[in-house]
Amino acid sequence: MSEFRTAIVTGSTSGIGLAIAHALARAGHAVMMNGFGDPAEIEAERAAMEIETGAPIAFNGADLSDFGQIDALVAETTEIFGQVDIVVNNAGIQTVSAIEDFPIDRYNQIMAVNMTSAWYLCRATFGPMKARRWGRVINIASAHGLVASPYKSAYVMAKHALVGLTKTLALEGAEAGVTANAICPGYVRTPLVERQIPETAKARGISEDAVIRDVLLAAQPTKRFVHPGQIGALAAFLCSPAASEITGASLPVDGGWTAQ
């Protein structure tokens, strides 16, 4: 069977997901993009990626907090590309708040998008992957899937859960050629991180410059942000034949954060 597969990358209209979509397309895989944003900008991004890589790229704007829309995402991907071989659960949101003030609606939304949608999308695609005896699940967890920080209770819960899902699916797919791995990035300067700088400043009572220096980069011994393309490159590697024996792993790309 061809080494070129078809992938769904959730939350690929921005940041890390967009970089993963690019990396998979550059490796020759067909990609279904997903996420929110301005329709004209998404279409421009999709068309440019198709021209740059030569891989077929489609887009479906499913809201992953709605199971019905995840079903429609899988159905449309199958209709366009024939099957789903690679699932990258990347979409994620964040709220920074002390637990006693944590808004309930944000807790529910973080759990739905960062955790439950990954379980549901795997539920919808794992059986056919096993039946075809090839599949890749890549869960974009976080350093916060391995260690905690204060004021991120919902996010840290959801990311630890993704690591648990990864291990479980690795065992369920082990004899059927389906691998499941988590990538655990440290801080990557995407819109998700930009938005939490003022929230963290408020929660900790410090300036935004101090958040970047003393909170974000303080966590990373390299004192550098991780680049989105570095996460994309690892995702593409995990889909390559060389990675077929890597499964159930949680792979930090965090400048040494979780080594401490």
Residues acting as catalytic residues: 155
Q: Is 96 left (phi over 0), alpha (psi -120 to 50) or beta?
A: beta
Of positions 90, 97, 166, 250, contacts ligand NAD by CB under 6 A: 90
Strand order in the sheet with 30-34: 57-60, 30-34, 6-9, 86-89, 135-140, 178-185, 250-253
Burial of 175 (0-12, 13-18, 19+ CB in 10 A): exposed
- Angle among Cα 77, 126, 19 to the nearest 5 degrees reads 55
Taking the complex as a whole, how short is the minimal distance between the CB of residue 176 and ligand NAD, in angstroms? 26
**Interface map 213-252 toward ligand NAD (x if CB under 6 A):** ----------------------------------------
129 binds ligand NAD (CB under 6 A): no
Q: Which of 91, 119, 109, 43 has its CA nearest to residue 192?
A: 91
Of positions 26, 50, 56, 63, contacts ligand NAD by CB under 6 A: 63
User: Of 14 and 179, which CB lies nearer to ligand NAD in the complex structure?
Assistant: 14
Of positions 191, 241, 242, 259, contacts ligand NAD by CB under 6 A: 191
Site for ligand NAD in 139-178 (CB under 6 A): 140, 142
Of positions 135, 173, 185, 232, contacts ligand NAD by CB under 6 A: 185
Of positions 27, 46, 92, 234, contacts ligand NAD by CB under 6 A: 92
- The partner residues of 33 in beta bridges, in order of sequence, read 9, 59
Q: Which one of the spans 12-20, 41-49, 97-105, 166-174 is the region binding ligand NAD (CB under 6 A)? A: 12-20
91 binds ligand NAD (CB under 6 A): yes
193 binds ligand NAD (CB under 6 A): yes
Taking the complex as a whole, how short is the minimal distance between the CB of residue 140 and ligand NAD, in angstroms? 4
User: Can you give the binding site for ligand NAD, defined by CB under 6 A?
Assistant: 10-11, 13-17, 34-37, 63-65, 90-93, 113-114, 140, 142, 185, 187-188, 190-193
